Amino acid sequence: MPSSALIRWGGLAAMLGGTLWVIGTLIHASKPRGCIAEECAFRPMRESGALDGILTLLSVLLLAVGAAGLLVLVRRSGRFGKMGKAGVVIAAAGVALLVIVSLIQSVVFGGDFPLMPYFVIPGLLALVVGFVLVGIAILSAGVLPRWVAVLIIVGALAMLGANEQTARVLLMIPFGVAWVAVGYVLWSGVGVPTGQPVTRVR
């Protein structure tokens, strides 16, 4: 498949993945408030249900495909740099950890894996650091509109303040919105430099 087709289909995956990420976050946020630290002695945790867990897992996998399409575009410019490469490796490690631990929680523990935070926190941190570096690399490469790169950076940083046990889980939404925007640009070719066209798939 030509690289232009990979970029466009990656854009479609990013749009769908970002949308599922937002929907899964909203479903999780609609549940009763959970507990933090000492509160857990007398208050139950907010657990992930089957629906929001599946949506989150699917969104992560689709976003990985979208990121691959983005990577093809940026690498084609020849200006990705060491920072971008490091960001991809770190983000990929975070995604892999989150996918694996989500599968363990769903399949082995039926949605109640007691050690989940010890895996989710480093996984999310790797995801945040990785995508911030990728966003900076995209900003420097100039292969996408600057506002798209800024959305990636802001969306990733917003997750640092998120907490799945409270309303702060809604801070996960900007990350999904950012990837919807990335996907749209990759799919449509809007704002992509004319020297690096994205050919439409027929």
CA 44-47-53 angle, to 5 degrees, is: 180
pLDDT at 78 (0 to 100)? 64
pLDDT at 198 (0 to 100)? 45
- Sequence ranges of the domains in the chain: 3-32+46-188
One digit per residue, the tens of pLDDT, for the chain of length 202 reads 557 788 888 999 999 999 999 998 898 888 878 767 676 667 776 766 677 778 877 888 898 888 888 888 877 766 667 888 888 889 888 888 877 877 776 666 665 666 767 777 888 899 899 989 988 888 887 778 889 889 999 999 998 888 877 888 899 999 999 999 999 999 987 655 544 444 444 4
Query: Cα(13)–Cα(58) distance, rounded to whole angstroms?
Result: 10
CATH T-level topology, domain 3-32+46-188: Four Helix Bundle (Hemerythrin (Met), subunit A) (1.20.120)
Query: Cα(201)–Cα(196) distance, rounded to whole angstroms?
Result: 15
pLDDT at 192 (0 to 100)? 58
pLDDT at 194 (0 to 100)? 46
